[in-house]
Amino acid sequence: MDFPTRKLQVNGLQMNVLIAGEGPPVLLVHGFPDTHQVWRKQIQPLLDAGYQVIAPDTRGCGETDMPARVADYQRDILVQDLLALLNVLQIDKVRLVAHDWGAVIGWQFAMAHPERVERYIPLSVGHPAAYASGGLAQKLKGWYVFVFQLPWFPEWLLQAGNWWIFRTVIAFPEEFAHWQRTLSRSGRLTAGINYYRANFDVFLSKSGAKVKVPVYGIFSTGDRYLTEGQMRESAQYVDAPFRCEIIRGANHWLQVDAPEKVNPLLLELLRT
């Protein structure tokens, strides 16, 4: 089922946001190369459980405005986007659920604005300091982070041969048509890669503030880009209850690949 979206003026952007349902608000934040549609298999279960769902296209993605400069994607600005969105909607506190780059933003948001987060559920990506401390195994899995620092070349590489490199690296045919359609629009692929270019230091710094709200991480064993350790080791950066749940066999996009496992767990973690 498709849910309508609306455009809101948020932190100087026209932000495209899905808002549905009534009840305690759950903010869903997507990553690269996604839009809010990556949560399509979670929205109805959340509504059925009595939650309000808020799922934006983050800056540069989907139907949200696309600033041109690399500096416009710096993580402090991305955090300000979420804060401004909550302020526009007059929401004091949310249950925050985030995946991939959304999870990076989510960790930063929870550090900076714990008073606005009732609990945080990151999918796939652990605390930035745990990621940076992940050793050689994580560096090898995250090789693309270094490639993305180059100008123009990553855009050319990913689209070469009718997106052959992209399809090979992603290895998720179910989502490819959607990604190709959205990222083929002028500037959208560059905007997504600019998240990595503007925040390279976050992948290297082994220090970071502790999170003071409950954190319930979810990791999938079929993730090709992240190690399980960087999620488990996030516990040492959380001064609050912490759990790490494992979804066996699912790929990096676990909410799409294994919703039958993710959704019951997500609902449990939202209630616990």
pLDDT in tens, 217-239: 999 999 999 999 999 999 999 99
Percentage of residues in the chain having pLDDT higher than 90: 96
The predicted model scores a pTM of 0.97
Section 16-31 average pLDDT: 98
Find the mean pLDDT for residues 100-115: 98
Determine the Cα–Cα distance for residues 162 and 158; give it in Å rounded to an integer. Answer: 9
- Please report the pLDDT score of residue 97 as a whole number: 98
Phi, psi of 269, rounded to the nearest 5 degrees: -70, -30
pLDDT at 25 over 70: yes
Q: Torsion-angle region of residue 56: left (phi > 0), alpha (psi -120 to 50) or beta? A: beta
* % residues pLDDT > 70 (the chain): 100
Instruction: Estimate to the nearest angstrom the gap between the alpha carbon of 74 and the chain centroid.
Output: 15
Report DSSP letters for 67-130, one per residue: --SGGGG-HHHHHHHHHHHHHHTT-S-EEEEEETHHHHHHHHHHHH-GGGEEEEEEES---HHH
Mean pLDDT of 98-122: 98
Give the number of other CB atoms < 10 A from CB of residue 90: 6
Q: What is the pLDDT of residues 162-214, one digit of tens each?
A: 999 999 999 999 999 999 999 999 999 999 999 999 999 988 888 889 999 99
Q: Count Cβ atoms within 10 A of the Cβ of residue 209 and give its class: 0-12 exposed, 13-18 middle, 19 or more buried.
A: middle
Residue whose pair of structure tokens reads 């903010």 in the numeric block: 27
Whether the CB-CB separation of 212 and 239 falls below 8 Å is answered with yes
> Is 28's pLDDT higher than 80?
yes
CB proximity list for 169: less than 8 A, separation 6 or greater? 144, 158
Q: How far is CA 114 from CA 47, 82, 237, 245, in A?
A: 25, 13, 14, 22
pLDDT over 80 at 1, yes or no: no
**What average pLDDT score do residues 19-37 get?**
98
